[in-house]
Amino acid sequence: MDMVKNYTPFNLVPRIRVLLIGPVGVGKSSFFNSVNSVFRGHVTSQAIAGSASSSLTTKFRAYSIRDGREGKPLPVMLCDTMGLEEHTGTGIDTEDIVYILKGHVPENYQFNPSVSFNSDTLGYIKNPSLKDQIHCVAFVMDACKISILSPKLEEKLCAIRSKINMLGVPQIVLLTKVDEACPLVAENTENIYRSRYIESKIHAVGARLGIPVSCVMPVKNYSSEVDLEKSIDILLLAAIIQMQRFADNYLDNFCIYDEKFD
């Protein structure tokens, strides 16, 4: 918690912005709620989360995390989007994600799957600064559904990743619902790195998205729990720390160093 709270982003950016991307129902909003819970000291539910056939998140939201209810905002913001869906005209559009990455999409923009965001859209931010852009992307994937990921959805994810790579934004994967995928982890979250099954899922999602295994972070969101558990908190905080490190790598590209030569 201290590492997250005391973190200072490079290049005068007050807070890093992390974009959460993933299929419907994988736990993007729940991840924010869970991290927020760690710093509030109790389980919270600020972002709308739950199970549905279509995305419960329909707007672009940038959530601040506070150090306690009356505390100051932490130096990280989690940006939530409409979920990905395999069929054309449903879920968030690939080009919408590009506009979000570049900082053109305003807070609370209402996504419309049938009409892509563009420079003529009401609220379009014409000249976004570095602080408005996305500094790290987290693909959120359900550990229970990696093996049944449809070819169309996998194709869409790879297309999005290609766009992100072109912009040079670093990426990680949050592997959620690990307790539902493995009885050993359901019994005790501390067993997560002892589970051969979860290890196989980490390798599988890395291979399908083309992301190194070292960039896949298994996490458990708060769902049925009413009180915080240290083993769950540790996984959530480890993921945030990795986001901060990757964002630093990205922001370092924009730093201007005053080098003096003899």
Q: What is the DSSP letter of 135?
A: -
Element (H, E) at 87: none
pLDDT at 2 over 80: yes
Is 240:35 a contact under the CB 8 Å cutoff?
yes
Is residue 240, in this structure, part of any structural domain at all?
A: yes
SS3 152: helix
Q: What is the DSSP letter of 224?
A: S
Measured N-to-C along each axis, helices 151-167 and 94-102 cross at an angle, to the nearest 10 degrees, of 30
Is residue 158, in this structure, part of any structural domain at all?
A: yes
Is residue 119, in this structure, part of any structural domain at all?
A: yes
pLDDT at 90 over 80: no
Is residue 153, in this structure, part of any structural domain at all?
A: yes
Count: domains in the chain = 1
73-80 vs 61-66, strand pairing mode: antiparallel
Amino acid at 252: D
pLDDT at 257 over 60: no
pLDDT digits (tens, 9 = 90+) for 174-191: 999 999 999 999 999 999
- Average pLDDT (12-25) is 92
* Token code pair at residue 251: 């922001």
Among residues 45, 29, 28, 26, the alpha carbon closest in space to that of 37 is found at: 45
Distances (CA, A) of 132 to 16, 77, 138: 9, 11, 17
pLDDT at 262 over 70: no
Is residue 12, in this structure, part of any structural domain at all?
A: yes
CATH of the domain at 158: 3.40.50.300
pLDDT digits (tens, 9 = 90+) for 139-164: 999 999 998 889 999 999 999 999 99
Distances (CA, A) of 155 to 84, 86, 253: 11, 9, 29
Residue 56 — pLDDT band, cuts 50, 70, 90?
A: low
Overall pTM surpassing 0.85 (yes/no): yes
Of 87-91, 106-110, 231-235, the poorest mean pLDDT is in 87-91
pLDDT at 81 over 50: yes
Q: Tokens 């307790």 map to which residue?
A: 179
Beta strands across the sheet bearing 136-142: 61-66, 73-80, 16-21, 136-142, 171-176, 216-218
- Average pLDDT (13-34) is 93
Is residue 261, in this structure, part of any structural domain at all?
A: no
Is residue 260, in this structure, part of any structural domain at all?
A: no
| Mean of per-residue pLDDT scores for the chain | 89
- Average pLDDT (71-83) is 91
Amino acid at 75: P
Structural domain boundaries, residue 99: 2-253
Q: What's the CA gap between 245 and 249, in Å, rounded?
A: 7
Looking at residue 259, what is its pLDDT? 45
16-21 vs 136-142, strand pairing mode: parallel
State the first-to-last Cα distance of the chain, in angstroms, to the nearest integer. 43
pLDDT at 52 over 50: no
pLDDT at 258 over 50: no
Looking at residue 4, what is its pLDDT? 95
Is residue 258, in this structure, part of any structural domain at all?
A: no
Residue 261 — pLDDT band, cuts 50, 70, 90?
A: very low
